[in-house]
Amino acid sequence: MVLPKVSVLVADDHSFIRAGVAAVLRGTRFQIVADTASGEETLEAIATHDPAIVLLDINMPGMNGVQTLETMRARSDRRPVVMLTAEITDRQLLAVMRAGVEGIVLKDGAEDELIDALEKVSNGRKSISATLLQRALDISLNPSAGGPLERLNPRERRISRLVSRGLRNRDIGLQLNIGEGTVKVYLHAIYQKLGIENRTELALMAVNDPED
């Protein structure tokens, strides 16, 4: 029996990831009807192409994948959504679980897992690993464990604490004996790990972080 085709929208700000997904799905019953690079583009493409499944990267510029999923659900859009991500923070994991995500696939190993995840969600099932489900449960039961900066390395945590004290990038660089440009690179990595957008959010998260 020939199974019906299933339309898929792929959202990722890296073109090589979109191309990789297309290569994995080639020859399967999952057909890409649109690919986008931001949350805003994704919402427009959903309205235009009406895909059966949306495959979302979590970290995208502008409206990220978490915000896109939350916007879809706020609009009563219940179509299956699968998150495709290199890593997922505790905050992001709880947010997408609460928004009713159907699947989470890590980019490391996605070639083997993606089609299986799409098959499951297209049939009304969930595709979230037992490890992630347990992690989400542990966070829910003990939300303060380790603090919000637990995922950062020691240098990133120190930079975060300096940000919370109101220091500028130049001053942080002088304290740590690194260049201002290097501080910016660290901050970008910190934002990605914590699933936040700006310095103000980081300062609020780090203000009560204890010194090592």
**Homologous superfamily of domain range 6-141:** Response regulator (3.40.50.2300)
DSSP string, 58-110: S--SSS-HHHHHHHHHHTT--S-EEEEES---HHHHHHHHHTT--EEEESTTH
pTM comes to 0.68
CATH no., domain 154-206: 1.10.10.10
- pLDDT of res. 210: 63
- pLDDT of res. 173: 93
- pLDDT of res. 14: 92
The ranges assigned to domains in the chain are 6-141, 154-206
d(CA 92, CA 40): 19
Q: Which residues of 135-160 are buried (b: 16+ CB within 10 A; e: fewer)?
A: bbeebeeeeeeeebbebbeeebbbbb
Do 6-141 and 154-206 come out as alike in CATH topology? Answer: no
Mean pLDDT of successive 10-residue stretches along the chain, which has 212 residues = 88 93 94 95 97 94 90 95 89 89 88 92 95 86 66 87 92 92 92 86 80 56
